[in-house]
Structure 1
C-alpha cells in the first residue's frame, strides 16, 4: 500500500525524521541563540534541587544533545529522500540521540519535582522510541 507515492513504512520514516528534526533542531538552536535566558531559567528551575550547582555544566550538554539529535534527524530525512544506503543508520542515530536528550530532560524534571513538566515529555519520548524501532526493523 502507498500513500502520497511512498510506501507506508518509508513515509513513516520520513515523518518521524521530520518531526524529530524540527523538535530537536528548534529546541537546541533556541538554547544556542538564547543561551543566557535559558541558563537563567534553568538556574531558577533547579535552584532547590541537587542539580542546582551543575546547571552551568549541564546546559551545554543538553544543548549539544538536542542540536545533534535534530540535525542528525534532518540528515537522515535527506538521505532517505536521496535513497542513500546509510539513511536507516543515520535516522536511527537521530532517534537515539533524541531519546537520550529526553531521558536527560525527564531526569532533570523529576529531580526538580516538576512532575507536570516530566509528564509532558512522555509523548515525545514514546514518539521517538517508535521512530527508533521503525528505523531498526
Structure 2
C-alpha cells in the first residue's frame, strides 16, 4: 500500500495527465471544429485576429503538460521522484491561466469561473507536489 501523500501526488498527477492529454488530443484531432467554435467565441474580442495562432500555442502547451504528467506518473511509481510531475503541473497551471485569460477576454464569465475551480485544484496540486 502506498503512503497517503504518495498516493495523493500520484492521483493529482494522473488527474492533470488526463485533463491535458485529452484536451490537447481533442484540439489536434478536431482542429477544424475547435477553430470554428473559437472564432465564434472570440469574434467580439481583441483576440479575434489571432485565434488560429492561440489555438496552436494552447495545443502545444496542453499536450506538453499532459506528457510531462504521464512521465511524472511513471517516475512516481518507479522511484518516487516528483520532478516531472512538478514540471507537468506547473505547465498545467500556465495552460489554465491561458484558458482563463481567453474566457475573460471573450467575456465568458461562467467559463472563467469553471477554469477558476480547476486553478484552485492546480494550486493545491503544486503545494502537495512541491
Q: Identify the TM-score tier after normalising by the shorter chain.
A: over 0.9
> How many correspondences in the alignment?
130
Q: Does 1:109 align with 2:127?
A: no
Q: CA deviation at 1:89?
A: 1.4
Q: Does 1:130 align with 2:108?
A: no
Q: Spell out the pairing of 1:1-137 with structure 2 (5 A cutoff).
A: 5-83=1-79, 87-136=81-130
Tell me how far apart the structure 1 counterparts of residues 67 and 103 of structure 2 sit (CA, whole Å). Answer: 24
Tell me how far apart the structure 1 counterparts of residues 69 and 121 of structure 2 sit (CA, whole Å). Answer: 13
Cα RMSD, aligned residues only = 0.9
Name which of structure 1's ranges 118-127 and 108-117 shifts more when overlaid on structure 2.
118-127
Q: Gaps (5+ residues) in structure 1?
A: none
Tell me how far apart the structure 1 counterparts of residues 90 and 82 of structure 2 sit (CA, whole Å). Answer: 12
Q: Gaps (5+ residues) in structure 2?
A: none
Tell me how far apart the structure 2 counterparts of residues 133 and 64 of structure 1 sit (CA, whole Å). Answer: 25
Secondary structure class of the residue paired with 1:6: coil
TM-score (ref. length: structure 2): 0.97
